[in-house]
Structure 1
Amino acid sequence: MHIIAQQIHNHIKQAKKVMIVPHQNPDGDAIGAATAFLEYLAELNKEIVIFCVTPVTDKLHFVPHSTTVITDPAIFKDSSVDTIVVLDSGDLRYAGIATHLVNHPATIINIDHHATNERFGSYNLVNTTAASTTEILFHFFRANSIRINPRMATSLLTGLTTDTGNFSNAATSVSALAVGGELIRSGGNYNLINNAVIRNKSVESLRLWGKALQRLTKEPDYNMVYTYVTRQDLIEHKVDDQETEGIANFLNNLENPGIVLVLKETANGMVKGSLRTTRNDIDVSLLAKQLNGGGHKKAAGFTVGSTIEEVVKKIKILLKA
């Protein structure tokens, strides 16, 4: 990892213009990684742009530079972009840019921690044992003697905090805790992050969660519990998609749930699924991959063009196969 980190740094120093790409519907890790990398590039006086297929949710606008993200794909026609850094994405489809990169001449740098990563870059800095992509970037900066300033520290700590569920889920490791401490020491604003992404539930969102909990269904024959949220639910409770984030992680608090599945209808007629487990003998990333998704052994996801009922039936078939 040390060698590839140095190779990436050496390439970046020669780059003319760098495009940073977090995955679509970016979470705290994706935006934290992208904005920390932007800060690093700015110190090298590089031309920089952050592109994301979808806008950054308002709840992550506290992260430094998060409001500079653009969504206009015309940037891919900019011939001065010679390096594209894809962050926190197991594949280019999840990043939302696969079609944009057909015959694109830029060098692709892939930095990620997902077990299902396809190593699609010219440079692949992939560590599947890392709790977050921002944890990988912390070590990348250290390997190249890059000073982590307070803004970078806050961005990196955002990714680590959100991907570990505030240092409480299965991704939390000795390394993650040590890196978290170092980032706070470097000026990372943990109180800001905690208030923005942990203590951020409105009365309306909790009512929505209550509806999802009422629908919670236990399927002992499939070692699974599941629930769902519809577009109508969001309209009735006057909340947006982001208010459903965290339901799957919360359900992981159930006693021996096996597989936790939370399904959500999206605005474009798709169904997004979140899979969780606390069991060491279950790998939900393998299930997600069969639905063209991906992720980690204990936390994964997918998006399919179907109905909630059809997705539940499909998953039951896959679990019995």
Structure 2
Amino acid sequence: MKDSLIQANKLISQATNILVATPKNPSNDALAAALGLYDVLNELGKKPQLVATGASPEALQFLPSFQNIQTTLRTTAQLKITLDTKRAPVQSVTYDIDDKNNLLTFSLEVDPPTDAPRSDEIVANAVSTELIPGTIDLVITVGANNIEQLSDIQAQNKRLLYDTPLISIDNNPNNTQFGQVHLHKITSASLAEIVLSLITESAPQTLTPQAATALLAGIITSTRNFESARTTPDSFHAASVLLEHKADQQTIIKHLYRTKSLPLLKLWGRALGRLEAKPELGLVHTFVTPDDFISSESSSKDVPQVVDEIANSIKNGNLVLLLWQPETTRRVRGILYNGEEQLRRLAKPLGGVLKNQKLVFRVQFRDIQGAQQHIFDLLAKEL
């Protein structure tokens, strides 16, 4: 990946207006890595914008640059006004700003030749205007497996992703190799580690404490605080580099792990109370009902963290299955966690989306028992 890092840094050095983009509904790792990259680009004197459509992970709101996330692409257009001074010799130019009516008025005093028509006609013929659309010099995608995952950005500017140099950062083996420069490392436990490699290759001095904290948050969420089987020696090395650059590990742990709301704890307790094991499938499973959400005053947004807590308490490598019925619909949804290779094999038959080591899916059942048996049969067949 050395050559790709060199190419990527060359493109960054040549660009000014840089778009950092994530897939719709980005994972914690993708967004944290993008935030760290955004901070570094600012430090380099670039003009970056970070676009993340859909829902951004609320757990990362403590990162300062979170407030700079955009859901729409912003381009700064220029209005170019040209005056042909040969046709209209200018003596003076004045302007007036009318804040009340939001008007900007230019006044030109010209000195027309004696045989020329009226001065207002001279100015009208000598002045031209041109609207110059804003430009993006470079696009950097973080965590997108294919260009279709950036469809919301494409809808805003159909040609941008095809006509602009594009650097793709990803660790998914199913990446379609879109773009011109590929920073792809499937053995990397987190996207933040790849972004760190890009930064340290050419500009380690730009790694501010704020950027380092964002990247460390990405590594910690992706490796479940270094307890996941995905964790590699490179993960620990990257973390040590970030800590040397003053990454605030305590703040990360405080916001990602120690702060648990009472509704979350109640929902977790209900899920634990129903936890069962199926050793023949290497699976532990549980479920929560609409009544559980009501009585615990929680919501479907808390389900992924409940799965994390169950996995952290088991730590035996089993797949974790949690089924639930959302408050607004009775159609059963589910999350499978752990064993990324297994989850990739199950993604297609379940029609699910793999995100943050979790396979999120929905099934054509309106009862938990029927959905459970369907999943058990599928696991027995596929695994």
Taking structure 2 as the reference length, what is the TM-score of the superposition? 0.71
Q: Are 2:150 and 1:83 equivalent residues in the alignment?
A: no
2:192 alignment partner in structure 1: 134
Query: Which whole-Å CA distance do the structure 1 matches of 2:353 and 2:213 have between them?
Result: 27
Q: What percent of counterpart residues are identical?
A: 25
1:151-170 superposed matches below 5 A: 151-170=210-229
Deviates more, 1:249-258 or 1:52-61: 249-258
1:255-266 superposed matches below 5 A: 256=316, 258-264=318-324
2:350–2:363 Cα contact (<8 Å) kept: no
1:144-223 superposed matches below 5 A: 144-147=202-205, 148-220=207-279, 222-223=281-282
Closer, same or farther in 2 for the Cα pair 1:249/1:185, shift >3 Å?
Answer: same
Deviates more, 1:205-214 or 1:105-114: 105-114
1:259–1:284 Cα contact (<8 Å) kept: no
1:1-321 superposed matches below 5 A: 1-72=1-72, 80-94=135-149, 97=152, 100=155, 103-104=159-160, 105-147=163-205, 148-220=207-279, 222-229=281-288, 233-252=292-311, 253-254=313-314, 256=316, 258-264=318-324, 273-277=334-338, 283-293=342-352, 295=354, 299-304=357-362, 306-307=364-365, 309=368, 312=372, 315-319=375-379, 320-321=381-382
CA positional deviation for 1:186: 0.7
Query: What letter corresponds to residue 338 of structure 2 in structure 1?
Result: T
Query: Which whole-Å CA distance do the structure 1 matches of 2:64 and 2:154 have between them?
Result: 29
Residue-by-residue CA offset, 1:267-287 (whole Å, 9 max, x unaligned): 886866433336x9x622221
Q: Secondary structure at the match of 1:110?
A: strand
RMSD over aligned CA atoms reads 3.4
Deviates more, 1:95-104 or 1:136-145: 95-104
Query: Which whole-Å CA distance do the structure 1 matches of 2:71 and 2:27 have between them?
Result: 16
Taking structure 1 as the reference length, what is the TM-score of the superposition? 0.83
Closer, same or farther in 2 for the Cα pair 1:197/1:234, shift >3 Å?
Answer: same
Structure 1 unaligned residues grouped into runs of 5+: none
CA positional deviation for 1:72: 3.1
1:116–1:295 Cα contact (<8 Å) kept: no
Closer, same or farther in 2 for the Cα pair 1:49/1:145, shift >3 Å?
Answer: closer
Structure 2 unaligned residues grouped into runs of 5+: 78-132
Aligned residues: 318
Deviates more, 1:42-51 or 1:231-240: 231-240
Closer, same or farther in 2 for the Cα pair 1:97/1:85, shift >3 Å?
Answer: farther
Query: Which whole-Å CA distance do the structure 2 matches of 1:231 and 1:26 have between them?
Result: 26
